[in-house]
Amino acid sequence: MTSEPPPPTLRLTVDTDALAENWQALNTMSGAARAGAAVKADAYGLGIDICVPALVDAGCRNFFVAHWSEVEAVARYVAPAQISVLHGPLTGEDCAYAKSVGAKPTINSLHQAKLWLDAGGGPCDAMIDTGINRLGLSPNEVAEPLVAQLEVDLLMSHLASADEDSALNGVQLARFADATNAVRYKYLSLANSAGIALGANYHFDITRPGLALYGGVPRPEMAPDLRQVAHLQAAIIQTRQLSAGDSVGYNATFTASQTMRVGVISLGYADGYLRCWSGIGKVTYKGQSLPVLGRVSMDMIVVDLTAAEALHEGDWVDIPWHLLDAADQSGMSQYELLTGLGPRLRATR
Query: In this structure, what is the dihedral angle of CA atoms 12, 13, 16, 17, given to the nearest 10 degrees?
Result: -140
- Whether 40 sits among the annotated catalytic residues: the reply is yes
| Helices and strands (H, E) in the chain, number of each type | 11, 19
In eight-state DSSP terms, residue 301 is E
Q: Give yes or no for a contact between 296 and 275, defined as CB atoms under 8 angstroms apart.
A: yes
Cβ atoms of residues 85 and 105 within 8 Å: yes
Which segments of 110-181 are extended strands (E)?
123-127, 151-156
- In total, the chain counts a number of residues equal to 349
* Backbone angles phi and psi of 121, in degrees to 5: 65, -155
Kindly name the residue from 97, 104, 186, 250 that is annotated as catalytic.
Answer: 250
With beta carbons less than 8 A apart as the criterion, state whether 342 and 299 touch: no
From the list 106, 128, 210, 225, the residue with the least C-alpha distance to 163 is 210
- Residues 248 and 135: their CA atoms lie apart, in Å, by 46
Which residue, among 24, 14, 12, has the nearest Cα to 226 in the 3D structure? 24
Judged on CB neighbours under 10 Å (0-12, 13-18, 19+), 246 is middle
DSSP string covering 210-257: -GGGGT--SSGGGGGG----EEEEEEEEEEEEEPTT-EESGGG-EE-S
Q: Which residues contact 174 (CB under 8 A, 6 or more apart)?
A: none
Active site residue 273: no
Give me the active site residues, please.
Answer: 40, 250
